[in-house]
Structure 1
Amino acid sequence: MASAIKTRTTATRLLTAVAVLSGLVLSAAQAQAATSPLPAEAPAAVATALPVVNMEATVLAAQIDPRRADSTQTPGAHDSVLAVEQALQARGLLDASRVDGYFGTTTVTAYAAFQRSLGYTGLDANGLPGVTSLTALGQGRFTLTRTIGAGAKVQRDGYTVDTRTQNMLTEAERLAGIHLTLDQGSYNPGGDPTSAGTHDGGGVVDINVDGMSSTTRTAVAKALRQVGFAAWVRSPTQGNWPWHIHAAAISDTDLATQAQNQTGDYYLGFNGLANHGADDGPRIPIQTWEEYQRTH
């Protein structure tokens, strides 16, 4: 009996010793863990979002700003134009003093130089941003939103126009309730000297008004303006031409320089002629084709 008790006592003491030693080992491990440096974390990747350039606003500013008598900026275009100018400055094409969000003649000249650096010539290097050149300029600097383009060239009434212009004319016909026939199309350099180069590029047409009353002519000009044309009824008293309606598609990226100037003048309340007279057409809120589409 005494032997059995002694055996149990010895076993109990052994177990107790093991427990104590285990506790010491655990405490030592905990202490080591507490004092050891934590593994270094990999540095978090910092993603810097690129500025976003609104192409619609930029192209609009490139038409209006050069025609202003002061340095007033086109509403809604400042940030986008500024990003474009910063990219031009980084390429040594624009002085820092001109990086201001105003797409004036100096910025137009700088942008044309960039277009030429891409191999463009003629109308493709006239300083009006196109989606291809703007994308190239923005590499690593900005991204694009609300991109616009003239589209493919198509035939209408035996004349060449671009797809964007064709779609605009079709919608104007629907609004006016009358079929529109062209007297002159686009991409017609030197075709009519009285047009002063406005038809050299895309986006510009002359509408035949034979048989139209004065009221109908005005209604057609209004419909054209509604869908995004700078449009005026032209009379023989204004120049060496017959009655017609002259229409330039605002923000068509193929506009000749002269047509760009006309659309800029339209926004500023002028008639688009060399005399810089007051706008004599139906006054409605001015909008582009893209703005019209978003609301209809």
Structure 2
Amino acid sequence: MHRRAVLASALAVGTAAATGLRPASAQAALPVVDMELLLLAAQINPVQQGTPIWPGAGESVRLVEQALADRGLLRARYVDGHFGTASIDAYAQWQKSLGHSGLAANGLPGVASLTTLGSGRFTLSRVVRPGSRVSWRGYPFNTRTVDMLLEAERLCGLTFAVDQGSYSPGTDPTSAGTHDGGGTADLDADALTRAQRTSALVALRSVGFAAWLRTPAQHPAWPYHLHVVAGNDTDLARPAQQQIGQYYLGRNGLSGQGPDDGPQVEKLTWEQYLRNRG
């Protein structure tokens, strides 16, 4: 390096030390948004009473809400760490402003829109992706959901017969739109014994699904089947998002919001399950 350049560099460092300022290369890193916790809050908060903050998610949510507020999409009073309906709607507007529509503007933060929103403001950790769309056993799914179903089969020793897959808008009006997006499935339970149904539900819940046994007593058009929704799937339709929230709050995912009638297991996302499994 030229002698004058060396002197200039030394003077800059010395001045920074004297004034308490740090050179640009030593500035603090951007804050981090935990995408897993952000997504959980975005599914659970909208169906909660009041404005509680989901444990551990507050700072990540506030960073995203502040970015939305700075773009005029969210009122300042909603920058509170609670990712409720107002924040979901604001995020959907952000997605639409990027040219997205349909499931890509469902209000759940996806990697692409979240990365753009956070440019120069925050970075992401524990990124969640639904994977590509595939056909599995004759029905549409994404690869994340298929991986979860295969692992649940391994755990319970059963092979699931699919009655309804994901990405199936209008296929079954009694599903109330839950299958319009990704992360959902109905699995045949007519031929399963009571013990097998329970074993399947335990396995499905263990890998990150909200999973319930649906019966003809609940709706006359329903055969016995296992209704499952993959938590933290960024392609979830709004009704399915709400079912994840209801599951985490101990409800049965039906319109009456009755108590959860399934086996109790630790509630985990797929990514948490994989980390625990090692």
Relative to the length of structure 1, the TM-score reads 0.85
Specify the code of the residue in structure 1 equivalent to 2:78: R
Decide which of 232, 236, 252 is 2:233's aligned counterpart.
252
Matching of residue 129 in structure 1 with residue 109 in structure 2: yes
Aligned-pair CA distance for 1:232: 0.2
Counterpart selection for 1:93 from 73, 76, 80 = 73
Other-structure match for 2:23: 45
* Equivalent residue, structure 2, for 1:286: 267
Q: Unaligned regions of 5+ residues in structure 2, if any?
A: 1-6, 17-21
Tell me, yes or no, if the aligned pair for 2:106 and 2:235 is still in contact at 8 Å. no
CA distance in 2, matches of 1:133, 1:196: 27
Which residue is 2:251 aligned to? 270
- Which residue identity lines up with residue 142 of structure 2 in the other structure? D
Aligned-residue offset at 1:210? 3.0
Identity percentage of aligned residues: 56
Q: Which residue in 1 is equivalent to 2:61?
A: 81
| Residue in structure 1 matched with residue 206 of structure 2 by the alignment | 226
TM-score by length of 2: 0.91
Aligned partner of 2:37 in structure 1 is 57
Deviations 1:239-282 (A, max 9, x none): 12110000000000100000000000000010000111110000
Contact 2:33 / 2:122 at 8 angstroms: preserved in 1?
yes
Unaligned runs of 5+ in 1: 1-37
CA RMSD of aligned residues (A): 1.2
Query: Cα deviations across residues 91-120 of structure 1 (Å, max 9, x unaligned)?
Result: 111111111111011111111110010001
**One-letter amino acid matched to 2:225:** H
Aligned to 1:200: 180
Counterpart for residue 116 of structure 1: 96
Matching residue's letter, 1:129: P
**Structure 1 residue 49: Cα displacement:** 1.8
Distance 1:211 1:254 in 2: 30
- Runs of 4+ residues over 6 Å off in structure 1: none
What is the 5 A alignment of 1:204-219?
204-219=184-199
- In 1: Cα distance, 2:249 partner to 2:262 partner: 13
Q: Is the 8 A contact 1:156 1:182 kept in 2?
A: no
- Answer whether contact 1:222 1:282 (CA < 8 A) is retained: yes
